[in-house]
């Protein structure tokens, strides 16, 4: 399957999932670990994550949040305090039963998410309405013992951030839930060039212990949906379970309203599957580890020309770095330029500069665009001034391509037959009654689930459920789609 012996990836159209599996290894994003289900994130993949962290973190700070860090281990009993939460997470907990050579009195769960342990401490930190809101976030690893795993999309251990906030009123907490969903949607659009649909999860798809779960859903190039970030309103569920109470302005005791919101390394999967093509990754410039790669081209038997090319490549790289471009000069020996072109295309670098003796004589470079595949001649002394704008434009084109693709594959269905047919080709808006049993039946029969009740979209007014004929359970038509 894998292996550099073979020249290209399996084409997306032939087997999308094979394409994905090969690409994550061939682009040096991940490697297998000795423990099944967990993966090593290699430097190129981790650099992507670091860029995601940097930009998202800035957005969290800008919305008033502070970072902190909670421990990895959580007493088992904490999970039992919230009925839905324990039911949702028990099956996938990894538990430490022995330590220091002895069996522990109380087993410790490796966090699958931190609501419980954070709730325990929030109860201590919140006494008065003056202590609220608490607006905290942590960057952490979590573990969920999944049966079927895939790099980035579903791994037993994954990296994420989890925001946990506590508020005096439901209104404030609901606002926070929505605000952070918008942060995710904005990040996806402005940094990853991924268009998303914002919506609410139905009861069955809601986070274990939440009153409301909001989601951003992105369409992959196989037209399946990927839940790419979630934001939950917990109501008083966790504050009652963990006794997060405070005295309000009237000196009356009240329960805090809490939220949590998370965004994980799964999003790297979204980037891969939203933008990638048969040649490999196409990375959004703002998150790409290298925005520009310079491939110097030598000439046979001419050390002097080679030296000049190398020197010019370095000079060019410096001038690009000075205008804030992340640039890499590929000076590796023993590989032909063609080999390097293919490699950087596979790795999704937005722009490639080819610089050889001919260019030096003409005072130009060849600038290759990963998205269009086109090459343009650009004067060397204009490269540094033009590249930032080209990267900006690259981002816009990438987003637009994804947006058009998505919009071309969203349909609307009036009948169940229509839903069954259209969901084979993309996402489908349809009216649903909201009955969980009906939802389950539809999933059995079509493999599609309700991804969300979109915050914007066709109204359900005057329509009835495509499956049961009952009145709509929601104000809008829901989105049915096959999902990761």
Contact pick of 161, 212, 264, 446 for RNA (by CB under 7 A): 264
Nearest to 365 by CA among 293, 430, 416: 293
Per-residue binder mask for RNA (CB under 7 A), 82-101, x = binder: ------x--xx---------
What is the DSSP track for 468-479?
T-PBPSSSB-EE
Contact pick of 65, 346, 422, 451 for RNA (by CB under 7 A): 346
Locate all alpha helices (DSSP H) within 63-113, ordered by sequence: 76-79, 83-89
Is residue 359 within the footprint of RNA (CB under 7 A)?
A: yes
Is residue 147 within the footprint of RNA (CB under 7 A)?
A: yes
Contact pick of 200, 312, 345, 439 for RNA (by CB under 7 A): 345
Q: Which is nearer to RNA, 138 or 306 (CB)?
A: 306
Contact pick of 101, 301, 322, 456 for RNA (by CB under 7 A): 301
How far apart CA 377 and CA 366 sit, in angstroms, is: 5
Q: Which is nearer to RNA, 32 or 40 (CB)?
A: 32
Is residue 358 within the footprint of RNA (CB under 7 A)?
A: yes
Is residue 5 within the footprint of RNA (CB under 7 A)?
A: yes
Per-residue binder mask for RNA (CB under 7 A), 214-233, x = binder: -------------xxxx---
Is residue 304 within the footprint of RNA (CB under 7 A)?
A: no
How far apart CA 404 and CA 195 sit, in angstroms, is: 10
Q: Which is nearer to RNA, 123 or 230 (CB)?
A: 230
Strand duo 225-235 + 351-355: pairing: unpaired
Strand duo 39-41 + 66-67: pairing: unpaired
Nearest to 355 by CA among 333, 337, 369: 337
Closest approach of Cβ 59 to RNA, in Å? 18
Is residue 405 within the footprint of RNA (CB under 7 A)?
A: no
Instruction: Determine contact, residues 68/57, Cβ cutoff 8 Å.
Output: no
Contact pick of 11, 13, 14, 32 for RNA (by CB under 7 A): 32
Distances in whole angstroms, Cα of residue 56 to Cα of each of 59, 228, 443, 474 = 5, 14, 34, 32
Nearest to 286 by CA among 370, 183, 352, 191: 191
What is the DSSP track for 319-341?
HHHHTT--EEE---SSS-HHHHH
CB atoms within 10 A of CB 225: 23
Closest approach of Cβ 251 to RNA, in Å? 39
Closest approach of Cβ 362 to RNA, in Å? 8
How far apart CA 89 and CA 383 sit, in angstroms, is: 53
Q: Which is nearer to RNA, 212 or 431 (CB)?
A: 212
Contact pick of 356, 426, 434, 473 for RNA (by CB under 7 A): 356
Contact pick of 122, 129, 191, 207 for RNA (by CB under 7 A): 207
Contact pick of 106, 252, 333, 456 for RNA (by CB under 7 A): 333
DSSP state of 203: G
How far apart CA 198 and CA 307 sit, in angstroms, is: 53
Is residue 274 within the footprint of RNA (CB under 7 A)?
A: no
Closest approach of Cβ 463 to RNA, in Å? 28
Is residue 260 within the footprint of RNA (CB under 7 A)?
A: no
Closest approach of Cβ 348 to RNA, in Å? 12
Both structure tokens of 161? 């951030």
Torsion sign over Cα 21, 23, 25, 29: negative
3-state helix, strand, coil in the chain (%, to 5): 40, 30, 35
Is residue 312 within the footprint of RNA (CB under 7 A)?
A: no
Closest approach of Cβ 155 to RNA, in Å? 5
What residues have CB less than 8 Å from 458, skipping those under 6 apart?
412, 429, 476, 477
Per-residue binder mask for RNA (CB under 7 A), 38-77, x = binder: ----------------------------------------
Contact pick of 265, 274, 291, 446 for RNA (by CB under 7 A): 265
Interface residues with RNA (CB under 7 A) are 1-5, 7-8, 17, 21, 32, 36-37, 88, 91-92, 144, 146-150, 153-156, 158, 160, 205, 207, 227-230, 262, 264-266, 279, 297-301, 306, 333-339, 341-343, 345-346, 354-360, 365-366, 368, 373, 375
């Amino acid at each position: 399957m894998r292996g550099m012996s073979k020249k290209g990836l399996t084409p997306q159209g032939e087997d999308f999932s094979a394409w994905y599996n090969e690409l994550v290894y061939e682009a040096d994003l991940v490697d297998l670990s000795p423990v099944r289900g967990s993966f090593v994130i290699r430097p190129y993949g981790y650099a992507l994550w670091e860029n995601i962290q940097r930009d998202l973190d800035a957005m969290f700070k800008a919305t008033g949040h502070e970072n902190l860090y909670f421990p990895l281990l959580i007493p088992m009993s904490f999970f039992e305090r919230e009925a839905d939460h324990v039911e949702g997470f028990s099956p996938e907990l990894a538990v430490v039963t022995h330590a220091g050579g002895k069996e522990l009195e109380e087993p410790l769960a490796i966090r699958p998410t931190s609501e419980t342990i954070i709730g325990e401490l929030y109860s201590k930190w919140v006494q008065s309405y003056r202590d609220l809101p608490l607006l905290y976030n942590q960057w952490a690893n979590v573990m969920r013992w999944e049966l079927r795993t895939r790099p980035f999309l579903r791994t037993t251990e994954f990296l994420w951030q989890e925001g946990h906030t506590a508020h005096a009123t439901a209104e404030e907490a609901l606002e926070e839930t929505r605000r952070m969903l918008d942060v995710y949607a904005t990040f996806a659009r402005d940094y990853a060039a991924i268009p998303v649909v914002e919506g609410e999860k139905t009861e069955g798809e809601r986070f274990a212990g939440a009153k409301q779960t909001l989601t951003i859903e992105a369409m992959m190039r196989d037209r399946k949906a990927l839940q790419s970030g979630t934001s939950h309103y917990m109501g008083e569920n966790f504050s009652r379970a963990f006794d997060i109470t405070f005295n309000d302005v009237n000196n009356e005791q009240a329960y805090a309203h809490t939220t949590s919101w998370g965004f994980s390394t799964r999003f790297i999967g979204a980037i891969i599957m939203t933008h990638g093509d048969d040649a490999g990754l196409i990375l959004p410039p703002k998150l790409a580890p290298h925005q520009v790669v310079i491939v110097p081209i030598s000439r046979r038997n001419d050390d002097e020309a080679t030296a000049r090319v190398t020197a010019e490549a370095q000079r060019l790289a410096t001038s690009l770095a000075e205008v804030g471009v992340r640039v890499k000069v590929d000076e590796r020996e023993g590989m032909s330029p063609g080999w390097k072109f293919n490699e950087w295309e596979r790795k999704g670098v937005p722009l490639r500069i080819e610089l050889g003796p001919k260019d030096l004589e003409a005072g130009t470079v060849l600038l290759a665009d990963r998205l269009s595949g086109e090459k343009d001649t650009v004067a060397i002394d204009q490269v540094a001034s033009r590249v930032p704008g080209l990267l900006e434009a690259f981002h816009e084109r990438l987003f637009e391509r994804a947006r058009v693709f998505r919009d071309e594959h969203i349909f609307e269905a009036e009948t169940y037959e229509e839903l069954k047919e259209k969901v084979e080709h993309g996402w489908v808006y349809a009216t649903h009654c909201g009955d969980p049993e009906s939802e389950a039946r539809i999933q059995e029969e079509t493999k599609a689930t309700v991804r969300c009740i979109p915050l914007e979209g066709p109204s359900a007014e005057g329509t009835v459920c495509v499956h049961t004929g009952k009145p709509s359970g929601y104000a809008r038509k829901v989105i049915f789609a096959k999902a990761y």
